[in-house]
């Protein structure tokens, strides 16, 4: 997966591969995407016990691993990183029947990576990213997720409308500090989407968007056409205007994983 001459370049979004930096990220890549890992490189400063575990995991996956101090030192952003994996990108599609999480215009790779880590912890494996959005394959996202980026499917959409048109049966729950429903009140019926994004652009737009939506506590199955989302709030101290994206996703995913039917 390296260019002619064998020299690996710094990461760019247009490359057909990405990098997993650090022992945990490399191990997760080998665990979840063994067929996509084309090389594992390690530095002499990698502790012996960690190197042995890394080499064993690479051997089980049938991946070549070699010491390459110069390449690791050149590509890493932190001196504490002593290994990396080269991972081929693949086209990803969200599972039709699975519950989804959608992030609208997420701009911080660290937040997206941290959110992915929580999603995997609470049983979610499908993430929609609505443009403009961070590069889901970027090494910052991969590292912030501790490599669990490779345990989820991430699909990009040009707009929220495009996502909802593609998955019309998913009941959508938009998380907002001023949401009409408190999180504890909602009974999540699969398939559903936990939706996070910027505030509504015009006053009253949220009310208009949800006016025709069904009651999320209803026992009626979701309609085959996309209904407007219901707005959901996470109760918090009024001294705090809003929660960090990754924290909001974590709380919502934890609750939804226990309240879904």
Q: Report pLDDT digits (tens) over 91-143.
A: 999 999 999 999 999 999 999 999 999 999 999 999 999 999 999 999 999 99
Asked if residue 53 and residue 165 are part of one domain, the reply reads: no
Residue 31 within any structural domain of the chain = yes
Residue 3 within any structural domain of the chain = no
Cis amide linkage into residue 191, ω under 30° from 0: yes
pLDDT, average across residues 137-161? 98
Asked if residue 58 and residue 111 are part of one domain, the reply reads: no
- Which of the four pLDDT bands, split at 50, 70 and 90, describes residue 209? very low
Distance, CA of 193 to CA of 249 (rounded, Å) = 12
Provide the pLDDT for residue 241. Answer: 82
Asked if residue 183 and residue 236 are part of one domain, the reply reads: yes
Range(s) of the domain holding residue 113: 100-259
Asked if residue 135 and residue 65 are part of one domain, the reply reads: no
pLDDT at 260 over 90: no
Provide the pLDDT for residue 212. Answer: 36
Distance, CA of 163 to CA of 158 (rounded, Å) = 8
Asked if residue 74 and residue 54 are part of one domain, the reply reads: yes
- Which of the four pLDDT bands, split at 50, 70 and 90, describes residue 261? low
Cβ(46)–Cβ(82) under 8 Å? Answer: yes
Asked if residue 228 and residue 115 are part of one domain, the reply reads: yes
Per mean pLDDT, which range of 27-36, 119-128, 199-208, 246-255 is the poorest?
Answer: 199-208
pLDDT at 218 over 60: no
Neighbours of 37 (CB within 10 A): 27
Asked if residue 199 and residue 82 are part of one domain, the reply reads: no
- Exposure class string for 137-173: b at 16+ Cβ within 10 A, else e: bbbbbbbbbbbbbbbbbbbbbeebeebbeebebbbbb
Strand 230-233 and strand 171-175: pairing? parallel
Collect contacts of 55-59 with beta carbons under 8 A, ≥24 apart.
Answer: 57/26, 57/27, 57/30, 57/31, 58/30
Indicate the pTM of the whole model: 0.87
Domain total for the chain?
A: 2
Asked if residue 112 and residue 72 are part of one domain, the reply reads: no
Task: Give Cβ neighbours of residue 95 (< 8 Å, ≥ 6 apart).
Answer: 125, 126, 153
Asked if residue 72 and residue 112 are part of one domain, the reply reads: no
* Residue 33 structure tokens: 């995407």
Highest mean pLDDT among 6-10, 38-42, 211-215, 241-245: 38-42
Asked if residue 185 and residue 60 are part of one domain, the reply reads: no
In the predicted model, what is the mean pLDDT of the chain?
Answer: 90
CATH of the domain at 173: 3.40.1280.10
- Which of the four pLDDT bands, split at 50, 70 and 90, describes residue 238? confident
| Helix ranges (DSSP H) in the chain | 23-32, 48-61, 69-75, 109-121, 139-144, 160-166, 205-210, 245-259
């Amino acid at each position: 997966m390296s260019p002619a001459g064998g020299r690996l370049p710094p990461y760019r979004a247009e490359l057909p591969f990405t990098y997993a930096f650090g022992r945990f990220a490399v191990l997760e890549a080998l665990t979840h995407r063994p067929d996509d890992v084309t090389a594992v490189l390690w530095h002499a400063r990698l502790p012996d016990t960690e190197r042995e575990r890394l080499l064993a995991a690479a051997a089980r996956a049938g991946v070549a691993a070699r010491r390459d101090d110069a390449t690791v030192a050149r590509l890493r952003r932190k001196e504490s990183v002593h290994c990396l994996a080269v991972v081929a990108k693949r086209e990803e599609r969200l599972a039709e029947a699975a519950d989804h999480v959608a992030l609208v215009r997420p701009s911080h790779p660290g937040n997206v990576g941290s959110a992915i880590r929580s999603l995997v912890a609470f049983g979610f494996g499908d993430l929609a990213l609505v443009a403009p959005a961070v590069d889901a394959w970027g090494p910052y996202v991969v590292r912030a997720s501790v490599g669990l980026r490779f345990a989820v499917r991430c699909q990009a959409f040009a707009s929220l409308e495009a996502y909802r048109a593609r998955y019309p049966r998913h009941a959508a729950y938009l998380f907002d500090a001023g949401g009409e429903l408190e999180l504890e009140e909602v009974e999540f019926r699969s398939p559903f989407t936990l939706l996070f994004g910027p505030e509504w652009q015009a006053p009253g737009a949220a009310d208009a968007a949800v006016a025709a939506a069904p009651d999320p506590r209803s026992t009626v199955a979701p309609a085959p056409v996309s209904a407007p989302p219901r707005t959901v709030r996470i109760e918090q101290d009024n001294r705090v205007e809003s929660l960090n994206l990754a924290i909001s996703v974590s709380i919502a995913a934890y609750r939804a994983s226990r309240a879904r039917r």
